[in-house]
Structure 1
Amino acid sequence: MSDRITCPVLRARITSAQAAAALINDGDNVGISGFTGAGYPKAVPAALHDAMVDAHGRGEQFRIGLWSGASTAPDADGVLAEAHGVSTRLPYNSDPTMRSLINLGEVDYVDAHLSHSAQHMWFGFYGNLDVAVVEVTAVLPGGLLVPSSSVGNNKTWLDQADRIILEVNSWQPRGLEGFHDIYYGTALPPHRRPIELTDPMQRIGEPYLRIDPEKVVAIVETDRPDRNAPFSPPDENSAAIAEHVVDFLRHEVAAGRMPPELLPLQSGVGNVANAVLAGLGDSEFTDLVAFTEVIQDGMLDLLDNGTLRAASSTSFGLSDVGARRFIDNIDTYKGRILLRSEEISNHPELVRRLGIIAMNGLLEADIYGNVNSTHVMGSAIMNGIGGSGDFARNAFLNFFLTPSTAKDGAISAIVPMVSHVDHTEHDVHVIVTEHGIADLRGLSPRARAERIIERCAHPTFRPALLDYTQRAWTERPRARHTPHLMGEALSWHQRYLETGSM
C-alpha cells in the first residue's frame, strides 16, 4: 500500500477490520459508501457482522442505523442484515436479505429520493452521524482522498461524521485519480447559490474528497472486487421496448424538439435499460452524452463504439467483464467519464437546466398514467424510488419502461389503479412496453387511458381494462374527469393475492 497511503499521519492508523469494527457501538448511525454495488466497504461490514453476532450471543443488543448512497452488496447490506444488526436503513436498498427484514417490519426503511438524502442529512432530519465507513482508492497528504468506483453520499458522510473509518482498496485501479469531480459549493438555505454547471461534462469541483485527518480513527487495507452484476443480453421484450424508444427519439428529432445528437441521457439500471442503450448503439445517433447515475455495460459499449461522447455519473454498475474492460483500458476513458456526488448527479436544478432524457423502469402503471416503481401489491417494498423521481419530474422528456406482464402472464403491468404511487400522472410523459409506446404529453386523463390501454397493455388484459374504463365513465356521470369504480379499482391486485393471477 506504499503508493496508496502516502499521508504519514494516517498511515499510523492502519489496523485490522476487526479493530476498526470495535470502534462502532450499539445505537450508532453509520454512513457507508456504495452505490449500485460499487465502491462499498468490504471488510468492516463483515467484521461488524461477527461483532454483532457475538454480542447477541451474550444477550446484548447491537444494532445500528445504516445509511448509504444507494444499494451496496451482500457483503455489506447482506451480512449486516443476516446479523439482525440494522435498526434503520436509508435511502435505497436492493439486497434481498435486507429487503426481507424491511418487509417483516424488523428494519425501519426510509425510502428517499437520492437527491434529497445528503441535504436532509445537512438539515438535521436524520439525526447525528456517528461513523462514516468509506472505501477509497488512495489516501494522500493533507487530508485528500482519491475516491473509488462510486461517489454517492461520501462527501456528506465524511463531512458530517464524528468518526471516520477508511477502507483503502487496492483492487480499485490507482488510475481512478482524476475521474472525479467533487463539488464543495453547496450551502444551507437561505444562502444557496446557483450551481454553475451548464454542460454535462463541465468540472465544477475537485478530483478529491477532503477530510479532517483528526476524525480518522482507523484505516483498513483491502483488495476485494466490487459486486459486479452479471450482464444479460436483451430478451425479445426488452429488444422490442428498445426499438420503440429509438423510433420515438427519431420522431422527436424530426419534429424539431431536440437536436440530432439528442439531449443528455439518463438511464436506470437493469436489462431493459441496457437493451435501450444497445438499441441506440445500433442506430444512426452519434455524439451523445449522458448525465446519469450509473454507468452500466451498455453505456461502456456506447463509449467504446463512439455513439456516446462522454458520461457524467455518480457510480459504475458493471459486470465482471465490463469492470475488467474498464480497468484494462482505464486511460482511454479519462476525460470521457466523470463521477460526481449524487447530490449533483441527481440535482433537480441541473436535470431541468440540461434538459435530460430520462429512462427508468416501473412495476406497474395505471390507465391514467400514475406509476408505481417500488411496491409489490401495494405493501411490500422491492428496492426503492432511487433517483427515478429526481430525473422524471425534472426531465425534458421521460420514459417509463416495462414488459406488459410479469410472473408468466399472471400480472398485468397496466392496471385500473396502481397499488402505490411513486410518480403521479403529472410527472409521466411516455410509457413503453413491448407492444407499443404511449405518448401522454398534453392529454386529458380519459385520452391517456385510451392510449395506454390501446398501445401498452397486453392483449390478454385489454378487454378487461376497456370494460372497466367504460363502466367507470357510465357509472360516475358527475365524476368523469378521472372516473374510477372504487369498489373495483384494486380488485385486480386482490384477485392476484387470493388466486395467484389477476
Structure 2
Amino acid sequence: MEKRIHHPYLVSKVMSAEQAATQIRPGMTVAMSGFTGAGYPKAVPLALAVQIEAAHALGEKFALRTLTGASTAPELDGALAKVRGIEFRLPYQSDPELRARINRGEIEYMDMHLGQVAQYTWFGFLGRLDVAIIEVAGILPDGRLIPSTSVGNNKTWLDLADKVIIEVNSVQPAGLDGMHDVYYGTALPPDREPIPLVRPGDRIGEPYLRVDPAKVIAVVETQGPDRLSRFSPPDETSIRIANHLVEFFRHEIAMGRLAQQLLPLQSGVGNIANAVLSGLRDGRFQGLTAFTEVIQDGMLDLIRTGTILTASATALSLSPEGVEEFGRNIEFYRSRIVLRPQEISNHAELVRRLGCIAINGMVEADIYGNVNSTHVAGTSIINGIGGSGDFARNGFLSCFVTPSTAKNGAISCIVPMVSHVDHTEHDVAVVVTEHGLADLRGLSPKQRARVVIDNCAHPDYRPLLHDYFERALRNSPGKHTPHLLGEALSWHERFIETGRMRP
C-alpha cells in the first residue's frame, strides 16, 4: 500500500471493500472502470453483490444503474447480475449471466456507440452519476492517478461523479506509469475546439487521471489480475478470411489507393481479428500504425516484430501469455503504445481525419450489405455494437468479416435481409468470408447483391440466395432494392422453428 498510495489524505481513506460497498445505496447510478475485461474494479463489486443479496433476503429492493467503458468480467457484471443487483446497464457487455438476464427482460440494457458515452454523460443525457468506482495502478503524492490497463470512460466518471471509490491494484504493472495520454481539452458545444491529434502516436494530454480528493470516499487495495481469455490459434476459416483481406490491401496498393504503410488499423476483438493481424505480419508489411480500441495478442506481436511502429488504444485485452510478454518487456512497449480515454480512441472526427482501416466482426450481412453485429434472430442481444460503428461510418475503409456459416452450417451468415441492422449498407465497404471478398464501393443495391452472393455466401446457400434475389427482381413492387417482404425474414423464422435455415 505504501508503494502505491503516496497521497496522505487518500491514505487516510483506505478501508476494506466491504466498508466501501456500504457507501452505495439502492437506486444509485454507479459508473465503473473497465474496458473489454481490463482495468475493472476487482473487490468492491463483489462486496456490493454480497450486500445486495443480504438486502434481498430481508425483502428489501436493491438494484443499480451501472455504466462502464465496455465489457468487464464475472467479478463485476456477473456477480451483480446474479444477485439481481442491476436494473439498467450500458454501453457494452459480454458476461453470460448478464446477457441471459437482459434477454429474459429482467435488466434494461442500452446498447450504444462507445465513442458517444462520455459526451452523452457530459450533455446530461444519462442523468446524474452518484458514485464512480475506478481501478488504478497507483496514486501520486499530488493525488493524480496512474491509470490501469484500460482508460475507457474513467476521466468522465471521475469528473462528474458526486463520490469516488478508488481501487489501487498492485498486481497491475508499475511500468504502466507513462503509457497513458489523458486529454483534458474537450468541451461542450458551442465551445469545442479541434483535437490536436494528427498521428496515432501523438501525445496531446497528460499521463495521469485527475480527481478531486474531497470526492474520494474510499480507497481499497486490491491484488487481482484482469480476467482475460486465451485466444485460440487461427483456424483454417480465419486464415482464409485474413488472406482475402491481405490480398485486397495489396490490390489497393497496386491501384494507388493505399500506400505500402496502409493507413491506421482498427481491429475488433476475436480470433478472426488476430488472424488478420498475423496475415499482415506474414505478408511482410512494415511501418504500420494502429488507431484502435484494444491491443490484442496479435497486435502486440506486430509491435514486437516491428510490423506496427505505434499503436493507440484505450485498453489492453491480452491473453495470460500476452500479459506475461507485455510485463516482461514493458519498457519496450511503453514507447510504442498509447492508451487514451475512449472518447478519443473512438472519436468520429479523428477516425475520419486519420483515415482508419476498420476491420470488425459481424453476426450476419444481407445481400445488399446491411450488417447485424449484435443480435441473434433480431431479438436476443449478444454483446453490443461496441466501437464498430464509430469506425465503420467514419473510417477510410469499413471491412466486416465473418465465417459464411454458423452452427455447423445450420445458419447462413449471408441472408436475404438481416434480422437487425447495426451498420447500414451506406457504411459498409467490404464484406469478407472464407469464400471471398465483396468490394461494395461504387455499386448499386442490385450490383451489391450479386457480388455478395457470388463471393461471400457458402456454396450450400448460394443457390437459395440467387433464387430469392431473382424472384425479388421479378415480383418486388420496387426494383431499386428488390425484396419479397413476406419471405425476407423466413430464413430466421425457419431456424427458430427447425434449428436450421435451409428448407
TM-score class, shorter: over 0.9
Listed as ranges, the matches of 1:274-423 within 5 Å are: 274-423=274-423
Structure 2 unmatched runs, 5+: none
Structure 1 unmatched runs, 5+: none
Q: What amino acid does structure 1 have at the position aligned with 2:499?
A: G
Give the secondary-structure state (helix, strand or coil) at the position aligned to 2:128.
coil
- Over residues 264-309 of structure 1, what are the superposed CA-to-partner deviations in whole Å (9 max), with x where a residue is unaligned? 0000000000000111111121011100000000001101111111
Give the secondary-structure state (helix, strand or coil) at the position aligned to 1:42.
coil
- Over residues 449-477 of structure 1, what are the superposed CA-to-partner deviations in whole Å (9 max), with x where a residue is unaligned? 0000000000000001000000000012x
2:43 aligned partner = 43
CA-CA distance at 1:141 after TM superposition: 2.4
Q: What amino acid does structure 1 have at the position aligned with 2:325?
A: R
* Misfit runs of 4+, over 3 Å: none
The answer to whether the 8 A contact 1:294-1:314 is kept is yes
The answer to whether the 8 A contact 1:228-1:323 is kept is no
Listed as ranges, the matches of 1:113-152 within 5 Å are: 113-152=113-152
Q: What amino acid does structure 2 have at the position aligned with 1:167?
A: E
Give the secondary-structure state (helix, strand or coil) at the position aligned to 2:466.
helix
Task: Give the TM-score taking structure 1 as reference length.
Answer: 0.99
- In 1: Cα distance, 2:231 partner to 2:75 partner: 20
1:501 aligned partner = 500
Q: What amino acid does structure 2 have at the position aligned with 1:14?
A: V
Alignment: residue pair count: 501
Give the secondary-structure state (helix, strand or coil) at the position aligned to 2:79.
helix
Give identity over the alignment, percent. Answer: 63
- Over residues 168-203 of structure 1, what are the superposed CA-to-partner deviations in whole Å (9 max), with x where a residue is unaligned? 000001110100000001111111111111011001
1:479 aligned partner = 478
Query: Bigger shift: 13-22 or 137-146?
Result: 137-146
- Over residues 138-158 of structure 1, what are the superposed CA-to-partner deviations in whole Å (9 max), with x where a residue is unaligned? 011223000000000000000
CA-CA distance at 1:228 after TM superposition: 1.5
- Over residues 325-382 of structure 1, what are the superposed CA-to-partner deviations in whole Å (9 max), with x where a residue is unaligned? 1011101111100000000000000000000000000000000000000010000000
- In 1: Cα distance, 2:481 partner to 2:256 partner: 32
- Over residues 192-222 of structure 1, what are the superposed CA-to-partner deviations in whole Å (9 max), with x where a residue is unaligned? 1111110110011000000000000000000
Q: What amino acid does structure 2 have at the position aligned with 1:157?
A: W
- In 2: Cα distance, 1:334 partner to 1:449 partner: 46
- In 2: Cα distance, 1:333 partner to 1:492 partner: 48
1:177 aligned partner = 177
- In 1: Cα distance, 2:209 partner to 2:39 partner: 14
- In 1: Cα distance, 2:334 partner to 2:236 partner: 35
Q: What amino acid does structure 1 have at the position aligned with 2:480?
A: H
The answer to whether the 8 A contact 1:180-1:207 is kept is yes
- Over residues 362-420 of structure 1, what are the superposed CA-to-partner deviations in whole Å (9 max), with x where a residue is unaligned? 00000000000001000000000000000000000111000000000000000000000
1:163 aligned partner = 163
2:74 aligned partner = 74
- In 2: Cα distance, 1:498 partner to 1:232 partner: 32
2:487 aligned partner = 488
- In 2: Cα distance, 1:328 partner to 1:45 partner: 30
1:224 aligned partner = 224
The answer to whether the 8 A contact 1:228-1:318 is kept is yes
Listed as ranges, the matches of 1:56-67 within 5 Å are: 56-67=56-67
Give the secondary-structure state (helix, strand or coil) at the position aligned to 1:243.
helix
CA-CA distance at 1:498 after TM superposition: 0.4
Q: What amino acid does structure 2 have at the position aligned with 1:235?
A: D
- In 2: Cα distance, 1:85 partner to 1:238 partner: 38
CA-CA distance at 1:49 after TM superposition: 0.5
- In 1: Cα distance, 2:354 partner to 2:174 partner: 31
CA-CA distance at 1:61 after TM superposition: 0.8
- Over residues 222-255 of structure 1, what are the superposed CA-to-partner deviations in whole Å (9 max), with x where a residue is unaligned? 0110012112100010000000000000011111
Give the secondary-structure state (helix, strand or coil) at the position aligned to 2:252.
helix
Give the secondary-structure state (helix, strand or coil) at the position aligned to 2:56.
helix
1:459 aligned partner = 459
- Over residues 415-445 of structure 1, what are the superposed CA-to-partner deviations in whole Å (9 max), with x where a residue is unaligned? 0000000000000000000000000000000
Give the secondary-structure state (helix, strand or coil) at the position aligned to 1:9.
helix
Q: What amino acid does structure 1 have at the position aligned with 2:372?
A: N
CA-CA distance at 1:165 after TM superposition: 0.2
CA-CA distance at 1:2 after TM superposition: 1.3
Q: What amino acid does structure 2 have at the position aligned with 1:87?
A: E
Give the secondary-structure state (helix, strand or coil) at the position aligned to 2:260.
coil
- In 1: Cα distance, 2:334 partner to 2:385 partner: 31
Give the secondary-structure state (helix, strand or coil) at the position aligned to 1:240.
helix
- In 1: Cα distance, 2:132 partner to 2:393 partner: 31
- In 2: Cα distance, 1:198 partner to 1:296 partner: 24
1:437 aligned partner = 437
The answer to whether the 8 A contact 1:152-1:340 is kept is yes
Listed as ranges, the matches of 1:181-260 within 5 Å are: 181-260=181-260
- In 2: Cα distance, 1:8 partner to 1:143 partner: 9
- In 2: Cα distance, 1:195 partner to 1:330 partner: 28
